Amino acid sequence: MKKTLTIILLLAIFMPMVNAQSNKVLFYLKTDVKPDAESKAVAVPESTTNDGSSEDDVVFVLVESMPEFPGGQQALFKYLSENVKYPVIAQENGIQGRVICQFVVNKDGSIDDIEVVRSGGDPSLDKEAIRVIKSMPKWKPGKQRGKAVRVKYSVPVNFKLE
Protein backbone atom coordinates (compact mmCIF):
# COMPACT_ATOMS: atom_id res chain seq x y z
CA MET A 1 0.00 0.00 0.00
CA LYS A 2 1.39 3.32 -1.03
CA LYS A 3 1.37 6.02 1.60
CA THR A 4 0.33 9.43 0.51
CA LEU A 5 2.04 12.30 2.14
CA THR A 6 0.43 15.52 3.13
CA ILE A 7 2.33 18.27 4.76
CA ILE A 8 0.22 20.82 6.53
CA LEU A 9 1.96 24.05 7.21
CA LEU A 10 0.64 26.72 9.46
CA LEU A 11 1.92 30.22 10.03
CA ALA A 12 1.35 31.91 13.33
CA ILE A 13 0.77 35.58 12.79
CA PHE A 14 1.37 36.31 16.42
CA MET A 15 2.92 33.61 18.52
CA PRO A 16 5.32 35.30 20.88
CA MET A 17 7.54 33.11 22.95
CA VAL A 18 10.00 34.73 25.28
CA ASN A 19 13.27 33.07 26.16
CA ALA A 20 13.34 33.23 29.95
CA GLN A 21 17.13 32.90 30.00
CA SER A 22 17.63 36.08 27.98
CA ASN A 23 18.20 39.26 29.91
CA LYS A 24 17.36 41.54 26.99
CA VAL A 25 14.25 43.65 26.78
CA LEU A 26 12.13 42.08 24.05
CA PHE A 27 9.77 44.98 23.69
CA TYR A 28 8.98 48.22 25.41
CA LEU A 29 6.40 50.94 25.49
CA LYS A 30 7.59 54.48 25.03
CA THR A 31 5.26 57.24 26.01
CA ASP A 32 5.56 60.99 26.25
CA VAL A 33 2.75 61.05 28.80
CA LYS A 34 3.89 61.09 32.40
CA PRO A 35 2.19 58.27 34.28
CA ASP A 36 -0.16 59.28 37.05
CA ALA A 37 -1.36 57.12 39.93
CA GLU A 38 -3.91 55.32 37.72
CA SER A 39 -1.72 54.90 34.64
CA LYS A 40 0.35 51.76 34.10
CA ALA A 41 2.50 53.16 31.25
CA VAL A 42 6.18 52.29 31.46
CA ALA A 43 8.91 54.10 29.60
CA VAL A 44 12.35 52.65 28.84
CA PRO A 45 15.17 54.87 27.55
CA GLU A 46 15.63 54.53 23.81
CA SER A 47 19.40 54.27 23.84
CA THR A 48 19.94 51.29 26.13
CA THR A 49 18.29 48.13 27.43
CA ASN A 50 18.30 46.74 30.96
CA ASP A 51 21.71 45.16 30.49
CA GLY A 52 23.31 48.28 28.99
CA SER A 53 23.44 47.01 25.39
CA SER A 54 22.35 49.30 22.57
CA GLU A 55 18.84 49.36 21.15
CA ASP A 56 20.23 47.77 17.98
CA ASP A 57 20.50 44.51 19.93
CA VAL A 58 16.90 44.57 21.16
CA VAL A 59 14.69 41.81 19.80
CA PHE A 60 11.00 42.74 19.75
CA VAL A 61 8.14 40.28 20.09
CA LEU A 62 5.35 42.60 18.97
CA VAL A 63 5.79 45.64 16.75
CA GLU A 64 3.56 48.06 14.88
CA SER A 65 4.36 46.41 11.55
CA MET A 66 5.23 42.70 11.84
CA PRO A 67 7.80 41.11 9.49
CA GLU A 68 6.41 39.63 6.31
CA PHE A 69 7.59 36.92 3.95
CA PRO A 70 8.04 38.33 0.41
CA GLY A 71 4.65 37.99 -1.27
CA GLY A 72 2.75 37.51 2.00
CA GLN A 73 1.34 34.47 3.75
CA GLN A 74 0.26 32.65 0.61
CA ALA A 75 3.79 32.91 -0.76
CA LEU A 76 5.16 31.56 2.53
CA PHE A 77 2.75 28.60 2.41
CA LYS A 78 3.79 27.91 -1.18
CA TYR A 79 7.49 28.21 -0.36
CA LEU A 80 7.24 25.83 2.57
CA SER A 81 5.12 23.28 0.72
CA GLU A 82 7.58 23.24 -2.20
CA ASN A 83 10.70 23.04 -0.03
CA VAL A 84 9.82 20.86 2.97
CA LYS A 85 10.89 17.26 2.39
CA TYR A 86 9.36 14.72 4.78
CA PRO A 87 12.34 12.87 6.31
CA VAL A 88 12.44 9.30 4.97
CA ILE A 89 13.18 7.75 8.35
CA ALA A 90 10.22 9.53 9.95
CA GLN A 91 7.99 8.55 7.05
CA GLU A 92 9.05 4.89 7.20
CA ASN A 93 8.41 4.79 10.95
CA GLY A 94 5.07 6.57 10.67
CA ILE A 95 6.26 9.52 12.77
CA GLN A 96 4.10 12.64 12.61
CA GLY A 97 4.31 15.84 14.58
CA ARG A 98 4.42 19.60 14.72
CA VAL A 99 7.69 21.48 15.02
CA ILE A 100 7.50 25.04 16.26
CA CYS A 101 10.51 27.04 15.22
CA GLN A 102 11.35 30.49 16.42
CA PHE A 103 13.73 32.85 14.69
CA VAL A 104 14.68 36.50 14.49
CA VAL A 105 13.95 38.58 11.42
CA ASN A 106 16.77 41.14 11.35
CA LYS A 107 16.60 44.77 10.24
CA ASP A 108 17.77 43.76 6.75
CA GLY A 109 15.20 40.93 6.52
CA SER A 110 17.69 38.11 7.04
CA ILE A 111 16.83 35.18 9.31
CA ASP A 112 18.92 34.55 12.41
CA ASP A 113 18.92 32.65 15.73
CA ILE A 114 16.74 29.75 14.54
CA GLU A 115 15.71 27.39 17.31
CA VAL A 116 13.16 24.67 17.90
CA VAL A 117 10.94 25.74 20.78
CA ARG A 118 8.71 22.67 20.53
CA SER A 119 9.92 19.43 19.02
CA GLY A 120 7.94 17.39 16.54
CA GLY A 121 8.77 14.24 18.47
CA ASP A 122 11.66 13.18 16.26
CA PRO A 123 15.01 14.88 15.62
CA SER A 124 14.67 14.36 11.86
CA LEU A 125 11.49 16.48 11.79
CA ASP A 126 13.20 19.21 13.83
CA LYS A 127 16.24 19.24 11.53
CA GLU A 128 14.07 19.48 8.41
CA ALA A 129 12.06 22.40 9.79
CA ILE A 130 15.31 24.25 10.66
CA ARG A 131 16.80 23.48 7.23
CA VAL A 132 13.83 24.97 5.39
CA ILE A 133 13.73 28.08 7.57
CA LYS A 134 17.48 28.62 7.04
CA SER A 135 16.94 28.48 3.29
CA MET A 136 14.18 31.12 3.22
CA PRO A 137 14.78 34.32 1.27
CA LYS A 138 15.01 37.66 3.06
CA TRP A 139 11.79 38.90 4.65
CA LYS A 140 10.33 42.39 4.75
CA PRO A 141 11.56 43.51 8.19
CA GLY A 142 9.30 44.53 11.05
CA LYS A 143 9.00 48.20 11.95
CA GLN A 144 8.52 50.08 15.16
CA ARG A 145 7.93 53.86 15.05
CA GLY A 146 8.78 53.79 11.32
CA LYS A 147 12.19 52.20 11.90
CA ALA A 148 13.25 48.66 10.94
CA VAL A 149 13.84 46.53 14.04
CA ARG A 150 14.73 42.94 14.94
CA VAL A 151 11.62 40.84 15.61
CA LYS A 152 11.23 37.34 17.03
CA TYR A 153 8.85 35.25 14.93
CA SER A 154 7.42 31.75 15.27
CA VAL A 155 6.38 29.33 12.56
CA PRO A 156 4.77 25.95 13.29
CA VAL A 157 5.41 23.23 10.71
CA ASN A 158 3.14 20.17 10.79
CA PHE A 159 4.29 16.84 9.42
CA LYS A 160 1.36 14.51 8.79
CA LEU A 161 1.12 11.21 6.94
CA GLU A 162 -2.14 10.14 5.30
User: Tell me: the pLDDT tens digits for 79-90?
Assistant: 988 999 999 999
Residue 155 lies in a domain: yes
What's the pLDDT tens digit per position in 147-162? 999 999 999 888 888 7
Alpha helices in 94-148 (DSSP H): 123-134
41 located within any domain: no
| Cα–Cα distance for residue pair 51/23, rounded to 1 Å | 7
Overall domain count for the chain: 1
Looking at the domain assignment, is residue 34 inside a domain? no
Expressed as residue numbers, the domain containing 140 is 5-17+59-161
* Region at 138 (left for phi over 0; alpha for psi -120 to 50; beta for the rest): beta
CATH number where 100 lies: 3.30.2420.10
Average confidence score pLDDT of the chain:
74
pTM for this model (two decimals): 0.66
